[in-house]
């Protein structure tokens, strides 16, 4: 039973995960190294809850109790008594491995260590801990309060008990589980990110404009947004990081990142979060 959970990283994904956990009655310790990011996350969660209340998805009177279940900290040691810790930091392997090494020495024995990684192998992450049977992938979709899917990824050593506790938590959050084997990109990003990369190639090779590529995919395949709009929403740096994981993991040229995508990231054109990507915001 997960009664108290730590969330590491107070960015868009981490704050969303904290939001849904607290909304379902779970005590949350939200960790980040930046005090300003923690303040931004708390403010954002409260605004999102108020938005839910206006839509009739939540009673306004419940908001103070939900917010009261979220505690913020800049000290990882404050996660010591959590039943589960969910890492949701930047998609950089070295950083994640460092965090899991530290977590393993801090969080109580028997607690589950989960990663919200969208592409990095769980077995590799688990190997730096002394509890690989308690390590699992728990990939939430963005925006977390809205999206109904969580990819659950078992590492080579993940126990049946850890898997059962994790899928039970997903159900408690009112979401659906999709189970993936532990290979780069898992299910969603193994399919999605190469599509975005191919859209970038179509632009790079002069096949069509940004607008026509997105229009073609929206109206031609009934997607809610075109792949280049979606790339800007995800962040071009994140898209490139996942393509690199796929390319390195499978050693297959079909996963080669588009040179245009690489150049845009080098230029700092990362999408919505920087005001410029395939579109200008």
Q: Per the annotation, where are the binding residues for NAD(+)?
A: 9-14, 32, 91, 96, 118, 142, 273
Residue 151 has pLDDT above 90, yes or no: yes
Length of the chain: 281
Binding-site residues sit at 9-14, 32, 91, 96, 118, 142, 273
Domain boundaries, the chain: 4-180, 189-273
Residues in contact with 82: Cβ distance below 8 Å, sequence separation at least 6, in sequence order? 4, 5, 6, 29, 107, 108, 111
- The yes/no answer on whether domain 189-273 falls in CATH 1.10.1040.10 is yes
Q: Give Cα 270 distance to the centre of its chain.
A: 17
Give 90's Cβ-side CA count (13 Å radius): 11
**99-127 tens-digit pLDDT:** 999 999 999 999 999 999 988 899 999 99
Please check whether the two domains, 4-180 and 189-273, share a CATH topology: no
Q: How many helices (H) and strands (E) does the chain have?
A: 11, 8
Cβ-proximal residues to 161 (8 Å cutoff; 6+ apart), any chain: none
Q: How many CB atoms lie within 10 A of CB 279?
A: 16
Residue range 152-177: average pLDDT?
A: 98
The answer to whether 118 is a known catalytic residue is: yes
Closest CA to 194 of 91, 140, 119: 119
Which numeric CATH code is attached to 4-180? 3.40.50.720
169-179: per-residue pLDDT in tens? Answer: 999 999 999 99
pLDDT at 134: 98
Q: Is 161 a catalytic residue?
A: no
Average pLDDT over residues 205-214: 98
Q: Among residues 115, 116, 180, 189, which one is catalytic?
A: 189
Q: Is 139 a catalytic residue?
A: yes
Of 87, 139, 197, 244, catalytic: 139
Judge whether 151 counts as a catalytic residue. yes
């Amino acid at each position: 039973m997960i009664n108290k959970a730590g969330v590491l990283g107070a960015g868009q994904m981490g704050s969303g995960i904290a939001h849904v956990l607290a909304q379902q009655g779970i005590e949350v310790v939200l960790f980040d190294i930046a005090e300003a990011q923690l303040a931004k996350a708390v403010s954002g969660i409260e605004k999102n809850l108020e938005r839910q209340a206006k839509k009739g998805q939540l009673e306004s009177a419940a908001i103070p109790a939900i917010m009261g279940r979220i505690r913020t900290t800049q000290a990882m040691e404050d996660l010591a008594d959590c039943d589960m810790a969910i890492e949701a930091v930047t998609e950089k392997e070295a950083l994640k491995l460092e965090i899991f090494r530290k977590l393993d020495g801090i969080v109580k024995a028997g607690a589950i260590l989960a990663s919200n990684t969208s592409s990095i192998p769980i077995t590799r992450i688990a190997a730096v801990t002394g509890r690989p049977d308690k390590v699992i992938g728990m990939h939430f979709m963005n925006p977390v309060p809205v999206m109904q899917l969580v990819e659950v990824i078992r590492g080579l050593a993940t126990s049946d008990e850890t898997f059962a506790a994790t899928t039970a938590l997903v159900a408690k959050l009112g979401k659906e589980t999709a189970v993936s084997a532990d290979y780069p990109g898992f299910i969603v990003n193994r399919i999605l990110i190469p599509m975005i990369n191919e859209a970038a190639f179509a632009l790079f090779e002069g096949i069509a404009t940004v607008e026509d590529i997105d229009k073609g995919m929206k109206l031609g395949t009934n997607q809610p947004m075109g792949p280049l709009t979606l790339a800007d929403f995800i962040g071009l740096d994140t898209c490139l990081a996942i393509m690199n994981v796929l390319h390195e993991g499978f050693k297959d040229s079909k996963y080669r990142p588009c040179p245009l995508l690489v150049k845009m990231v080098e230029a700092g054109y990362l999408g919505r979060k920087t005001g410029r990507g395939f579109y200008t915001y």
